Structure 1
Amino acid sequence: MNRRHCASAAITLVCALALLTAPVQAMAAPIPEPSPTTSAAPSAPSAPSAPAKKSLAEVREEIDLLYRKAGAATDAYNLAEEQTKKQSGEIVRLAESIAEGQARIAELKSRAGAEAREQYRNGGLPPGAQLVLSGDPDLFLDGVNQFRQGQQASRGMLTELEQGQEDLETYTKDASLNWAKLEANRVKQAKARKSINAQIATAKKLESQLEKTELARLLQMEKDEASTAQSAWLSSGALQDINREASASGKQAVAFATAQIGKPYVWGAEGPGSYDCSGLTSQAWAAAMRPIPRTSQEQWRQLSRIQIQDMRPGDLIIYHDDASHVGMYVGDGMIVHAPRPGRDVTLAGAGSMEILGVVRPDK
C-alpha cells in the first residue's frame, strides 16, 4: 500500500473514530361583566391606534445597532473559520503521522517474520544451539558476535514496534479530538453566519422602507455625527505632539491598506476584491511580512497595546467596548477602514467612533 493510500485509509479511520457528540403562561385578570342597564346603547368598538412612526434618528440608531451586531457576529465567524483551518491542518498532519506509523509497524512485522522464517530454514534451532553444535572455534566466536548483534537488533526491533503502536494510538486519539473540535467550530460558523445574515437583512429592510430624501438625510446625519465626534477628539488634545513616522513594515502595511480604498465591504472577506474590517488590516500586515491575528478581537487580545499619544502610521485602532471593529491609523488623525455592509473601504477620522485602544503589530 503506497503512502497516499495509507493516508487515505488513516483519514477514513479518524473520521470513523470521531464521536460527534416550557415557559410559564401569563394569565390575564378576568374582565368584570358590565352592569345591566336598560337605557344605555352598546358603544361602537374603538379603532386600534396606529403605531407612532419612528423618527429618522431612531431608525438610524436601530440600523447602526443591527450593523454593530452583524460586525460582532462577523468576528465570531472569522475566528471560528480560522480555528477550523487550523484544526483541518492538524488533522491532515496527524493522518500523515498515522499512515507513517502504520507503514513502520508493517515494516517491523515484516522483519520479524523474516527472522522467524530464517530460523525455520535452520531446522527450528535457535542461533545459540547452532553455535554450540559448531566444531570450528573461529566460526563459533564469529557466530557468538553475530548472535549478540542479532539479539540486540531483535530487542531493538521489538521496542520500536511497541513504541510505534503506542504512538499510533496517541495519534489516533489526537486526530479524533481534533475532528471533534473541527465539527464544533463548523457549528459556531453556521450560527454566526445565520446571525450575520439576519442582522444585515433586517437593516437593509429598514433602509429600503425609507424615501430617497430620507436616505440622503440619513447619510448626512451619519457624516455629521462622525464629524462631530472627530472634532471633539481632536479638540481633546489626543493628537498633540504626535508626529512619529511609520516603521519600514508599517509603511508597507499603510501602502497596501490605502490601495484598497473604494473596494466594497463584504463580511468574512479578506481580499483581493473585497474586505471586512479585520480582513483589511490582517492582509495589510501580511503584505508587510508581519502576520497578525485574523479578527479585531484577537488583534486586541494578542498584539502589543500602546497609548494613543504614542501612535504612528500602521498601528491599529480598535473600536467599541467589544473590540468588534478595527481601522489602520495612517497619520494626521485619519484611519483607513472597511466600515460595514453597503459601504466601501475609505478614509475616516480616527476619533469618529468610540476608541477602545491601540495596538502595534510590529512591536
Structure 2
Amino acid sequence: MSGKLLRLVCTAVLAAGAVLAPVPAVAVPEPGGGAAGPGSGSGERSVAELLTELQTLYREAEKATETYNATEERLKRQRAETERLERALARTRLSLRDSRGAAGLLARRQYQSVTGLSPYLRLLLARDPQRALDQGRVIGRLARERAETVGRLTGDEQEADALARRARKALDARLALTERRGKERDEVRERLRAVEELLASLTAGQLAALAELERGDTAEAQEELVASGALGSGGTPPSAAGERAVRYAVEQLGKPYEWGAEGPETYDCSGLTSEAWGAAGTPVPRTSQEQWARLERVPLDELRPGDLVVYFPEATHVALYLGDGMVVQAPRPGARIKVSPIAANPVLGAVRPDPDREPVRRYVPPELPDGAMDGPDGGYAPAAPETSIR
C-alpha cells in the first residue's frame, strides 16, 4: 500500500468517526538481501514503491525506538526501587546492630544480678520490705524492657531478611531489564541501518522525487481531512498548561531528531511531547504508546493547542497540536523538529494531558520562526540522514 493510499484510507476512517484499523504490513526485503533489495534493484522500482518501502522502514525503526524507550523507563523505575530497598536495608541493619547491642547489655546485667534467691524469699528476708517492693517494680520494668528489646531484635532480623530478599529480587529484575534494553538498542540500530542502506542506494534524482511525492501526498491528505470536517472549527484555545507546552515545543524547532533522546539538544517524537508537558508542569508518560493508553482521548473535532496527536495503529508516533490543523513534531532520524500538517502521518487519535483544566480566556499563538515548516515531514532529505546511534 503506497503512502498516499495509506493516508487516504486513514482520512476516510477518521471522517466516519471510526478508529483506524490495522494497516496491512508491507513486505520489505532485507537491505542487500536479494535481487529486490536496495543497491541491486532500486532503480527498477517506481518512486511510489520506494516511498512505501522507506516509510515502512522508518515505521519499523520508530516502533523499535518506542519499545526501547518503554524499557528505559522501566529500568529507571527499577533502578530507583533497587536503591530505595538498599537504603532501607542499610537502615534496618543499623537498627539490628543497635538491638543486638541492647540485648547483649541486658543479658550481661541479668547474669551479674543472679543471686539464686526467689523474689518472694528476698522480700521476706529484706529489712525494708517497701524498698524491696520498689526494687521489684524496677526489676519488673527492666524485664519488660528486656522483652521489648528481644522483640525488637527479632522484628529487625525478620525485616532485614525480608528486605534482603526483595533487594536481591529487585537487582535481578534490574539486570534483566538492562539486558533487554541492550537487545532493543541493537534492534533500533539494525532498523536504522536498513534505512541508511536504502537511502545510500538511491540517486539524487530518486531522493528528490521521493520528497516531492511525499509532499504531494501530505498536502492531499491534509486537504481531504480538513474538507471532511473531522477537525472541526479548531477555535478552542488551550489551557494554561497547554499554552506553556506549545511554547516549549515551538522553542525546540530546528533541533535534530535523535532516537531515545529527551532534550535539551535533541529529541525523539515522544521525548519532545513528554518534555513539553513536563515543562508545563503536567508530567505525562514517556512513550507515545503509554501516552495513548493512559491519557484521556479527545475527538479530533475538539482538538485544542497542546493536545497530543498519536499516529499509526500501534501508536508509535506522536506530535503536539499547534492549532489550525498543524502539529509540532520530531519526525524521524535525519530530520529536525518542525511544524507539519496534522495529516503528515496516518492519524490514530488524540489525547489530552489536562482534561479537567479550562481553556484560557485569551490566547495568542506563538510566532513561528522562518523555516518552521521546512524539511521533510517523513524524516528524510535529499542528503544522507545524520543518524545518531548511541
TM-score after normalising by structure 2 = 0.77
Q: 1:312 aligns with which of 295, 304, 308?
A: 304
Q: Deviations over 1:95-131 (max 9, x none)?
A: 1111111111111110011112222333566994795
Q: 1:150 aligns with which of 142, 163, 175?
A: 142
The CA distance in 2 between the partners of 1:103 and 1:272, in whole Å, is: 41
Residue pair 2:85, 2:167 contacting (<8 A) in 1 also: yes
Residue pair 2:99, 2:153 contacting (<8 A) in 1 also: yes
Identity, % of aligned positions: 36
Shift of 1:141: 2.1
Q: Unmatched 5+ residue regions in structure 1?
A: 1-47
Q: Could you say which residue in structure 2 is the equivalent of 1:346?
A: 338
Q: Could you say which residue in structure 1 is the equivalent of 2:99?
A: 108
Q: Unmatched 5+ residue regions in structure 2?
A: 1-34, 356-390
Q: 1:220 aligns with which of 212, 216, 224?
A: 212
The CA distance in 1 between the partners of 2:207 and 2:255, in whole Å, is: 22
Paired residues, number:
315
Letter in 2 for 1:149: R
Q: Could you say which residue in structure 1 is the equivalent of 2:14?
A: none
Distance 1:142 1:292, change over 3 A: same
Work out which of the two has the higher radius of gyration on C-alpha atoms and give 1 or 2. 1
The CA distance in 1 between the partners of 2:172 and 2:289, in whole Å, is: 24
Q: Could you say which residue in structure 1 is the equivalent of 2:57?
A: 66
In the alignment, is residue 55 of structure 1 matched against residue 46 of structure 2? yes
SS state at 2:238 partner: coil
| Stretches (4+) displaced over 3 A | 123-135
The CA distance in 2 between the partners of 1:126 and 1:250, in whole Å, is: 81
Residue pair 2:329, 2:339 contacting (<8 A) in 1 also: yes
TM-score after normalising by structure 1 = 0.82
The CA distance in 1 between the partners of 2:286 and 2:88, in whole Å, is: 28
The CA distance in 2 between the partners of 1:338 and 1:362, in whole Å, is: 22
Q: Deviations over 1:278-304 (max 9, x none)?
A: 000000011011111100001111111
In the alignment, is residue 276 of structure 1 matched against residue 268 of structure 2? yes
Letter in 1 for 2:88: S
Residue pair 1:131, 1:143 contacting (<8 A) in 2 also: no
Letter in 2 for 1:109: R
Distance 1:204 1:150, change over 3 A: same
In the alignment, is residue 164 of structure 1 matched against residue 156 of structure 2? yes
Q: Could you say which residue in structure 2 is the equivalent of 1:32?
A: none
Q: Deviations over 1:229-273 (max 9, x none)?
A: 111111111222331110000001110011101000000000000
The CA distance in 1 between the partners of 2:46 and 2:175, in whole Å, is: 45
Q: 1:96 aligns with which of 79, 84, 87?
A: 87
In the alignment, is residue 250 of structure 1 matched against residue 242 of structure 2? yes
Shift of 1:360: 0.7
Shift of 1:90: 0.5
Q: Could you say which residue in structure 2 is the equivalent of 1:291?
A: 283
The CA distance in 1 between the partners of 2:116 and 2:275, in whole Å, is: 70
Letter in 2 for 1:98: L
